[in-house]
Amino acid sequence: MTIFSKKEKDEKPVIKRVWARPEMQVTFRAEIMPGSSREDRTYRIKVVRSNGRVILYDFPDEHRERPGLPFVDLSDL
């Protein structure tokens, strides 16, 4: 019997709390994009990755929720 066991390679990380879902609209804070209107700072989520990061339509790179500063879900407004 071994003391340490290896994880299977095909295991995916478990996200404890889902903060985003595909097609949800998210808005960046004004401090991040100064001089832009709310509409210019709002993007739609294309993909939510298994590590919790998201890929946005028409915006480069991946993004994650910043602790303490959740994105605003505009679909509820």
Q: 15, 48 in Cβ contact below 8 A? A: no
Domain total in the chain: 1
In a domain, 5, yes or no: no
Q: 16, 67 in Cβ contact below 8 A? A: no
In a domain, 32, yes or no: yes
In a domain, 64, yes or no: yes
Q: Give pTM, 2 decimals.
A: 0.57
**Residue 13 pLDDT:** 63
Q: Which domain holds residue 60?
A: 19-77
In a domain, 6, yes or no: no
* φ and ψ at residue 74, rounded to 5 degrees: -75, -15
pLDDT, tens digit, for every residue of 2-57?
Answer: 677 776 666 666 656 677 889 999 888 888 888 989 998 899 999 988 877 888 99
**Residue 37 pLDDT:** 92
In a domain, 65, yes or no: yes
**Residue 77 pLDDT:** 44
Least confident of 27-31, 40-44, 65-69, 70-74: 70-74
